[in-house]
Amino acid sequence: MGTTSLPTSWRSVLPHLDEQLPPDRTPQTASRDGVQVNLPMELVRQSVLQKEHWDIPAEIVEAYRAFRPTPLWRAERFERAVGARVPIYVKYEGGNISGSHKLNTALAQAYYYAKAGVRELVSGTGAGQWGTALAAACAMFGMKCTVFMVGNSLRRKPYRGTLMRTLGATVHASPSPLTEVAAQSRAGVNSLSLAIGEAVEYAAKTDGAAFCIGSGETYSILHQSVIGLEAADQLAALDAEVDAVVGCVGAGSNFGGIALPFFAEAAATGTRAPLLLAAESSTTPKLTRGTYAYDRTDATGTGPMEAMYTIGSSYPIPDSHSAGLRFHGAAKVLSAMRHRDQIAATAIGQVDALDAGRLFTRSEMVLPAPESGHALAAAARLASAGADANSGLLRSERGVVVCVSGHGYLDLGAYQQLMDGELSDVAPDPEELRRAMSGLQTAQEPVGAGAHHD
Q: Which amino acid is at 153?
A: S
Q: What pTM was estimated for this model as a whole?
A: 0.92
Is pLDDT above 60 for 351? yes
Q: What is the pLDDT of residue 186?
A: 60
Q: Which of 172, 230, 341, 165 is nearest to 7 (CA)?
A: 230
pLDDT score recorded for residue 38:
77
Between the alpha carbon of residue 297 and those of residues 9, 31, 153, 157, 219, the distances in Å are: 28, 17, 20, 25, 16
pLDDT in tens, 310-332: 999 888 887 777 767 878 999 99
| pLDDT higher at 390 or 25 | 25
Alpha-carbon gap, residue 63 to 43, rounded angstroms: 18
Write the Ramachandran bin of 30: left for phi over 0, alpha for psi from -120 to 50, otherwise beta: beta
Pairing of strands 306-310, 291-295: antiparallel
Q: Which residue has the higher pLDDT, 66 or 314?
A: 66
Output the CATH code of domain 62-98+219-442.
3.40.50.1100
Query: Does 231 have pLDDT greater than 90?
Result: yes
CA distance 8 to 251: 25
Query: Is it the case that residue 188 has pLDDT exceeding 60?
Result: no
192 — pLDDT class (breaks 50, 70, 90): confident
Q: For residues 169 and 184, what is the distance between their CA atoms, to the nearest angstrom?
A: 26
- Which is higher by pLDDT, 324 or 121? 121
pLDDT, tens digit (0-9, with 9 covering 90-100), for 242-272: 999 999 999 999 999 999 999 999 999 999 9
pLDDT at residue 156 is higher than 90: no
Sequence-distant (6+) residues with CB within 8 A of 80 are 363
Distance of CA 63 to the CA centre of its chain: 21
Percentage above 90 pLDDT, the chain: 74
Region 16-21: mean pLDDT is 90
Stretch (H or E) spanning 442: strand 441-442
Name the phi and psi angles at 195, rounded to 5. -60, -40
- Mean pLDDT for 164-181 is 95
Spans of all domains in the chain: 62-98+219-442
Predicted confidence (pLDDT) at residue 210 exceeds the cutoff of 60:
yes
Phi, psi of 148 (to 5 degrees): -100, 115
- CA–CA separation, 25 and 44 (whole Å): 16
Q: Which amino acid is at 379?
A: A
Check residue 450 and give its pLDDT.
37
Which pLDDT belongs to residue 452? Answer: 36
Confidence of residue 421 (pLDDT cuts 50, 70, 90): very high
Q: pLDDT of 370-417, one tens digit each?
A: 999 999 999 999 999 654 544 456 678 999 999 999 999 988 989 999
Amino acid (one-letter) located at 131: G
